[in-house]
Structure 1
Amino acid sequence: MALTAQDVSRIAHLARLELTEAEQTAMQTQLNDFFAVVEKMRAVDTSGVEPLYTPLSAVEDVALRLRDDAVTEADNRDANMQNAPAREDGLFLVPKVIE
């Protein structure tokens, strides 16, 4: 999947980037190189390969270090709400921004 100059121009427009001709040419090369790597990775047959939750698990057994989901801090709502310009029932009040 090779990108054309028009594709790069459209991507730059959508990203709100102003690119010079030289920058656009360099970006096109970089993006095409990136997509070439992606295509190589897609070509590898990964059926039957278990996903790794960490790269270290490919070399050694790694136990997940998960802690118990327990409350470790006291309720500081009043202290946290002290500087709020507007609050009600323990909640921050913010101006309406969506009609």
Structure 2
Amino acid sequence: MSISEQEVRHVAHLARLQLTEAQLRQMTGQLDTILSYVDKLSELDTEGVAPTTHALAASNAFREDRVAPSLPRQEALANAPQHNDESFIVPRVI
């Protein structure tokens, strides 16, 4: 598999990356090497191999939810840079 400079330029544009011509040539070569390696992996016979999401067996490490006493409001607000005695005051994010 091969990738062209035009394709790298297009992906860089989508990612809002500004690449110099030298960076573009370097990135094209690096991506071409990666894609060639991935293409080589497709030559492997995977018949009978079960699909997996992880190389190692993993289980969910979450615990069950438990009701527990919470921190009192005044104690939680004690170290806040700004509060109004009810809640934290934070900058508006739009």
Give the structure-2-normalised TM-score.
Answer: 0.60
What is the aligned counterpart of 2:64 among 54, 69, 73? 69
Task: Determine the structure 2 residue equivalent to 1:21.
Answer: 21
Identify the structure with the greater helix proportion. Answer: 1
Q: Which runs of 5+ in 2 are unaligned?
A: 84-91
The alpha carbon displacement at 1:52 in A equals 6.6
Give the structure-1-normalised TM-score.
Answer: 0.58
Q: CA RMSD in A?
A: 3.7
Task: Determine the structure 1 residue equivalent to 2:88.
Answer: none
The alpha carbon displacement at 1:24 in A equals 0.3
Identify the structure with the greater strand proportion. Answer: 1
Q: Which runs of 5+ in 1 are unaligned?
A: 58-62, 86-94
1:5-62 per-position Cα deviation (integer Å, ceiling 9, x unaligned): 111111111111111111000000011111111111222121211337443x5xxxxx
- In 2, the alpha carbon distance for the partners of 1:27 and 1:38 equals 16
Task: Determine the structure 1 residue equivalent to 2:11.
Answer: 11
- Count of residues in Structure 1 that have an aligned counterpart in Structure 2: 89
- In 2, the alpha carbon distance for the partners of 1:48 and 1:41 equals 16
